[in-house]
Homo-oligomer: A and B are copies of this chain.
Amino acid sequence: MSQNVHFLTLATPDLDAARRFYVDGLGWNALLDVPEEILFFQIAPGLLLGLFDAEKFDQDLQRGSTVREASGVTLAHNVDSEDAVRSTVATMRAAGGEVLTEPAPGEFGGIFHAHVADPNGVIWEIAHNPGWSVEADGTVRLG
């Protein structure tokens, strides 16, 4: 099994709130938007983020579960500087995000970061990480 993820799908209780946050607030472009069902964004080469209506998410898994939002998961967005962490967090707050931890030095790796929840409780880490880089071919380097 090759080491690739092609879709990252999150149970989303309020798809309209997600659209307001990502499209109207952050200016993202949806690849596909099916109201009351799913909203797709491309978030890396070859990878889509699917925000999937929480009830349909449950039905699709046929597990009879009552998962109503994503938990135990964070999405990280890296930026070039500590100032860019602050400005990105300000943008997310203005778009309706809830700042969980204000921009501050992290506990390891020399990073500077903050955590922001989107309107559906999806937690983003906005970080400047001097030890992280991506080569031209997409290979990630750490440390």
Contact B46 A140 (CB under 8 A): yes
- With A and B bound together, what is the CA distance between A41 and B88 in angstroms? 26
Interface size on A, residues (CB 8 A): 62
Contact B74 A72 (CB under 8 A): no
Q: Please, which residues of chain B bring their CB within 8 A of the CB of A48?
A: 140, 142
User: Which 9 A-B pairs rank lowest in CB-CB distance, beginning with the nearest?
Assistant: A45-B138, A7-B76, A11-B72, A70-B72, A45-B45, A5-B43, A44-B47, A67-B72, A6-B78
Query: Interface residues, chain A, CB within 8 Å of chain B?
Result: 1-11, 26-29, 31-32, 40-49, 54, 57, 60-63, 67-78, 88, 91-92, 100-101, 107, 115, 123, 125, 132, 134, 137-140, 142-143
